[in-house]
């Protein structure tokens, strides 16, 4: 695997090192030892799968607070998504900054999302599928979110939002979110 740290300290784009032959290819998608070498949490408590019917579907911006903070390893296994993370660590030099990266079945790229980052994505294709490996169990009492369209963050989504849950559409603006 090739680890590239983003401008948000602790957040990495992970590309595969593909070993190809006449049959196709082989690549490692997760290795606890390699994650530890970069100071990343190699723990997996849950694996989640999200399927989305329509391009423009938006899911996010989600996070979990203490004592159930979680890291995520996110990969798109079918179609393509625009994946966004926001640094919510108050002591971070990149506090409230965000990045977006395209994850797709074609580029086979993953995004490592550290604790106390909000995370969400918008589907770029119909029938997009996303797999998450997370370090903590889903804990409803520790769940939080930020509105995807918060002007204080200024995320530029690539498509108009065509589908969003009522819950995600009604997250509060950042100024009202205790992190």
Buried b (16+ CB within 10 A) or exposed e, 3-13: eeebebebbbb
**Residue range 13-33: mean pLDDT, rounded:** 96
Looking at the predicted structure, is the pLDDT value of residue 174 above 90? no
d(CA 65, CA 46): 17
Residue 179: the pLDDT is: 65
First to last CA, the chain: 32
Looking at the predicted structure, is the pLDDT value of residue 12 above 80? yes
Residue 178: the pLDDT is: 67
The closest of 138, 142, 137, 134 to 43, measured between CA atoms, is 134
Q: Does 132 qualify as catalytic in the annotation? A: yes
Annotated catalytic residue, options 98, 119, 121, 132: 132
What is the per-residue pLDDT across 150-173, written as a single tens digit (0 to 9) for each? 999 999 999 999 999 999 999 999
Place of tokens 């009522």: 166
Annotated catalytic residue, options 53, 62, 82, 98: 62
Q: Which two tokens stand for residue 5?
A: 């740290």
What is the per-residue pLDDT across 116-139, written as a single tens digit (0 to 9) for each? 999 999 999 999 999 999 999 999
Q: Does 138 qualify as catalytic in the annotation? A: no
Kindly calculate the radius of gyration of the chain based on its CA atoms and give it in whole angstroms. Answer: 16
Instruction: Name the CATH topology of 44-176.
Output: Jelly Rolls (2.60.120)
What is the per-residue pLDDT across 71-97, written as a single tens digit (0 to 9) for each? 999 999 999 999 999 999 999 999 999
Looking at the predicted structure, is the pLDDT value of residue 175 above 90? no
Instruction: Output the CA torsion 15→55→115→152 (10° steps).
Output: 120
The residues spanned by each domain of the chain are 44-176
% of residues, the chain, pLDDT over 90: 97
């Amino acid at each position: 695997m090739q680890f590239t740290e983003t401008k948000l300290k602790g957040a990495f784009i992970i590309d595969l090192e593909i070993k190809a032959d006449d049959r196709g290819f082989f690549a490692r998608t997760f290795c606890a030892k390699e994650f530890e070498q970069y100071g990343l949490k190699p723990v997996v408590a849950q694996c989640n799968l999200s399927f989305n019917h329509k391009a423009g579907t938006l899911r996010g911006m989600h996070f979990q607070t203490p004592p159930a903070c979680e890291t995520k390893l996110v990969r798109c296994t079918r179609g393509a998504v625009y994946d966004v993370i926001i640094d919510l660590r108050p002591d971070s030099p990149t506090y409230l900054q965000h990045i977006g990266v395209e994850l797709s079945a074609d580029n086979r790229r993953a995004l490592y999302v550290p604790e106390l980052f909000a995370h969400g994505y918008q589907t770029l294709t119909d029938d997009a599928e996303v797999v998450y490996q997370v370090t903590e169990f889903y804990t409803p009492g520790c769940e939080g979110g930020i509105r995807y369209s918060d002007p204080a963050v200024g995320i530029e989504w690539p498509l108009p939002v065509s589908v969003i849950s009522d819950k995600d559409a009604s997250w509060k603006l950042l100024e009202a979110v205790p992190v």
